[in-house]
Structure 1
Amino acid sequence: MTIAHGAHADMRVGDGAATAVDQTMVLVVDDNPIDRLHAGALIERNASCKVCYAQNAAEALERLAQGAVSAIVTDLMMEGMSGLDLVRTIRREHPGIPVVLMTAHGSEEVAIEALRVGATDYVPKSRLAVELQPILERVIQAASSVSRWRRGLQGLIRKESQFILDNEPEEIASTLEFVKQQIEALNRWDKADVLRITIALDEALRNAVFHGNLGVSSELRQGDERRFDALVRERAGIAPYRDRRVVLNIFHDPKISGFVIRDQGQGFDVSLAERPIEPDELLRPSGRGLLLMRSFMDEVSFNAAGNEVTMIKRRPPDDRSSAHAAPCPADDWSVLPRTWSDPERLEIEAEPGADDPRTATSDDAPAAVPLPEPEAAGFDLYKALLDRLPDAVCFLDADHRVVYWNEAAERLSGYSRDEALHQLGLLDALKWTDHSGAALEREELPFLQCTARERPAAAHLFLKRKDGRRIWVEVRSTPVRNDRGVLVGGLSTFRDATSSIAVEHAFRQVREAAERDPLTGLANRRHLDRMLDLHLQVLDRDHRPFCLMIADLDHFKQINDAWGHTTGDRALVEFANLLQRQCRAEDLVARFGGEEFMVLFPDHTLETAARIAERLRANTPTATPRELGDRQLYASFGVAQAVPGETPQQLIRRADAALYRAKSLGRDRVEIEDAQAE
């Protein structure tokens, strides 16, 4: 099947009987009324969206039960039921409704877990005004479906299909709608996973159109959305850009689904896709796209030219087709220790802090699992159930021999069940290491710790597969006893956590990105304010002096007007580099806003700081970009020394007063402000 040039661009999608004039209901959940109303106001800028509110997770679930909600925007850190529990509940009870997280400083770890258990996308609260509306529009569009097509599409599904797209955003939406119907007809994934696949495809297709075929940089979109849109429209109508196409090839086989997206642009340096996401990149469209593609697909790879991406999504091992798989032979269970084949009750110890099993609810794991005799009619069922689990499961007896190894363990490690059961050194062969790459002793592994210490153990570790690849896994091990209290071994589960590394790293970088200026890489005002407050506390306590310097590029507006914003940005970067190079490592250089910069000088008096400012002033012309020709950069400087008991705002005001005086006296000079001037 081939769709070329937007053949389905006129299709309208939505839940139920939605039409172009219907309003989409978005539920905003936040226990902070100001944040709640702020998010709602941003969403309602789109006339097609209507907002309803909930102040906690319980209210949100009540509102969902009433129906008519198409998407949810939620905070994570709430009293009562947490945002994470809310995401889990929505994934279970309303899998077709997308959930967008509002992440704030300090909530990153919870947000990571929320993405892993079912959230669709995220927006840093510091970026709500810029990113919330377009992200919400995309996830709603991806979540929409026309259910009356599903039965017909089942007859259209083939092992391979191809879509050819022009460089029009509207074609991405219509193509994704068709692809989504294909994926749903396969009946391999639940609605939440289908939505996450669609989001990953959306990000990859947009990158292929905008960055690949049209050659428009994501940095431009980050800095000026209007200029970005104008350049996209311009290039879509001129050669060679207008003649380029994006090809989406999709294939399905019994075990995986693959999505290959190729553009006809110049490509990019693929090594950039392999390195960790940098702080400033994460908040840009390209950083977001790569993060979501890695998180929502099992494998993401690029060709050498950088103009083709291949994304793989594996078929879940417990999908509906597994019910028809041939049952495992009962004699495989003969490898289990005698205590497992006895008609006894095996007790599995609960995690520390777990409730008393005598009062456990139906949602709690039972403290004891009865197993029937090997010859019992239902015995194959237990093994079949363990083999269908998506997590790897193994059982080591009291002598640390592997006596059970399920199918997921085979897939994860590359070692077959037969190899696991008969290879005494299997645990050593997996060459476990910690996050830093340091090799672990056998006694440090959760598999052995749980029996040696006779309590549950857990860890995140790297293992080396049989094919040599290293993967990051989460391991949980629990000691197992029989009814007589005799320790018979340890039951362990381990799952592939590789995809979470990118997410965890990215959210750690968000913390840094929130305190960095995206253009210059310097600290921003948020970070400067925090450090000023800290140094003022040290000054009050230990009487250690420090100074603050403000620098402002002279006549900077003339540079922007005459040479353009690109050259102006270049001048800001070069001046920032000059300040960074000529200050000490312990000095804090920050961009305060626009063409203003600040430097915090620890352990310097006013006299010393003024000398440094004069040296920086004299060297400012050396930071002139080549594009300015004979026009040189100049700057004015104001310096103030902190005094005990003053606030950061008072110190900034005094330094700013000195800067204002330098400007008034002719610019390109240094002025100081002492405490008596306050």
Structure 2
Amino acid sequence: MEMHFEEDFYREIIDSLNDGLYIVDKDRVIRFWNKAAERITGFAAWEVLGTPCSKDILMHVDEEGNDLCRGMCPLALAMATGKNRDAEVYLHHKKGHRVPVWVRAGALRNSEGEVVGAVELFSDMTSIEANRLRLMELERLAMLDALTGLPNRRYMEHEIKTRIEERKRLKVPFGVLFMDIDHFKSFNDTHGHEVGDEVLKMLSNTLINNSRPFDVFGRWGGEEFLGVIRNVDQTELSKVAERIRVLVEKSFIVHEGKRLRATISIGATLFQDEDTMESVIKRADDLLYESKRSGRNRVTVG
């Protein structure tokens, strides 16, 4: 059964769009302006119908400030070439400010195939960009430790799971370093928590600035840190751990004119075939405490 629709039906559909839509004739005079166009631009339909789109209405500019409406804007290019045009531009809002929009323009033809006008659909990028940045920020906050800027425990667990899958598929070995700042509680009690925070940041910066591009270090919790070291054997893992231990030992912060130093104890182990995430972390943790029992400021590999 053939379906017939009245003009009002199509108008209702177009007016229900979230994107702005307007139609111009060959002289770029606005002949249709939907509800979303009113919302995005601030201009009501009665203010713009019968007016050239370049006349103090949209006044599109690009990111360099070039006035597109006086030349070949996407709408004009679509009519001139007969091809659809996409672009990110900045339109003029009725209140005076600029609104970033993504426009898609296409030529309109009559039954003889002649270009008689064009239609432009434009999406408000303000909320899209804001939502994108907000999502990125939430993801960043969910995966980073607020104090040190290092990946947090949640991220490190994800990293180890990824490395386990990589090892299964590609046979790429990796090791885990479990690190703990020696006597951190007494350090905090003596100098205060603000100084303790500076020590945590000092250690974090040492890890960030002295790690290989494909290794990942994160804060596990409190004064504990974890490192995931890719593509190493036990000897190389031991060298990486020892280099980090020495660099931390040689670092210091200045507080009330005095140099304050901290040391770390480290447990280092390679992931084995029978391991899980939990087992390799526990073994590294056990090796860390062996370093503690042996006098601290040392690496124990196993």
TM-score normalized by the length of structure 2: 0.73
State yes or no: 1:640 paired with 2:254.
no
State yes or no: 1:463 paired with 2:94.
no
Rounded to whole Å, the distance in 1 between the matches of 2:291 and 2:145 is: 26
Match of 1:652?
Answer: 281
State yes or no: 1:366 paired with 2:5.
no
State yes or no: 1:421 paired with 2:52.
yes
Specify which structure has the higher proportion of strand.
2
- Larger Cα-atom Rg: 2
Name the SS of the counterpart of 2:52 in structure 1.
helix
Match of 2:101?
Answer: 473
State yes or no: 1:448 paired with 2:78.
yes
Alignment equivalent of 1:430, drawn from 40, 56, 60: 60
State yes or no: 1:614 paired with 2:242.
yes
| Cα displacement (A) at 1:557 | 0.9
Alignment equivalent of 1:402, drawn from 29, 36, 61: 29
Name the SS of the counterpart of 1:366 in structure 2.
helix
Cα distance change, pair 623–458 in 1 and its aligned pair in 2 (3 A) = farther
Match of 2:218?
Answer: 590
| Cα displacement (A) at 1:593 | 0.8
Deviation by residue 1:432-471 (Cα, 9 ceiling, x = unmatched): 469xx9x9x969669939x946xxx896722264999753
| Cα displacement (A) at 1:606 | 1.5
Rounded to whole Å, the distance in 1 between the matches of 2:254 and 2:218 is: 24
| Cα displacement (A) at 1:670 | 0.5
Rounded to whole Å, the distance in 1 between the matches of 2:109 and 2:146 is: 56
Rounded to whole Å, the distance in 2 between the matches of 1:552 and 1:507 is: 33
| Cα displacement (A) at 1:497 | 3.6
Cα distance change, pair 522–410 in 1 and its aligned pair in 2 (3 A) = closer
| Cα displacement (A) at 1:403 | 3.5
Match of 2:202?
Answer: 574
Name the SS of the counterpart of 2:297 in structure 1.
coil
Letter in 2 for 1:421: P
Deviation by residue 1:418-443 (Cα, 9 ceiling, x = unmatched): 9962859x99x724469xx9x9x969
Cα distance change, pair 591–635 in 1 and its aligned pair in 2 (3 A) = same
Letter in 1 for 2:286: A
Cα distance change, pair 537–594 in 1 and its aligned pair in 2 (3 A) = same
Instruction: Name which structure has the greater RCO, CA cutoff 8 Å, separation 6+.
Output: 2
User: For 1:103-502, what aligned pairs fall within 5 Å after superposition?
Assistant: 358=3, 366-367=9-10, 394-397=22-25, 399=26, 401-404=28-31, 408=38, 421=52, 430-432=60-62, 448=78, 452=82, 461-463=88-90, 465=92, 471-475=99-103, 488-494=116-122, 496-502=124-130
Contiguous gaps of at least 5 residues in structure 2: none
Rounded to whole Å, the distance in 2 between the matches of 1:477 and 1:670 is: 65
Name the SS of the counterpart of 1:671 in structure 2.
strand
Name the SS of the counterpart of 2:243 in structure 1.
helix
Match of 1:529?
Answer: 157
Specify which structure has the higher proportion of helix.
1
Cα distance change, pair 488–446 in 1 and its aligned pair in 2 (3 A) = closer
Rounded to whole Å, the distance in 2 between the matches of 1:641 and 1:391 is: 55
Cα distance change, pair 411–635 in 1 and its aligned pair in 2 (3 A) = same
Rounded to whole Å, the distance in 2 between the matches of 1:544 and 1:572 is: 31
1:442–1:448 CA contact under 8 A, matched in 2: no
Rounded to whole Å, the distance in 2 between the matches of 1:538 and 1:422 is: 56
Rounded to whole Å, the distance in 2 between the matches of 1:595 and 1:543 is: 32
Rounded to whole Å, the distance in 1 between the matches of 2:2 and 2:107 is: 16
TM-score normalized by the length of structure 1: 0.35
Deviation by residue 1:521-576 (Cα, 9 ceiling, x = unmatched): 11112211112111112212222222111110011111222222211111111111
Alignment equivalent of 1:560, drawn from 182, 185, 188: 188
Aligned CA RMSD, in angstroms, stands at 4.5
Letter in 2 for 1:401: R
Letter in 1 for 2:282: R
Cα distance change, pair 391–541 in 1 and its aligned pair in 2 (3 A) = closer
Cα distance change, pair 575–419 in 1 and its aligned pair in 2 (3 A) = farther
Fraction of identical pairs, as percent? 26
Name the SS of the counterpart of 1:463 in structure 2.
strand
Alignment equivalent of 1:669, drawn from 287, 291, 298: 298
1:475–1:493 CA contact under 8 A, matched in 2: yes
Count, aligned residues: 281
| Cα displacement (A) at 1:607 | 0.8
Rounded to whole Å, the distance in 1 between the matches of 2:129 and 2:299 is: 48
1:523–1:591 CA contact under 8 A, matched in 2: yes
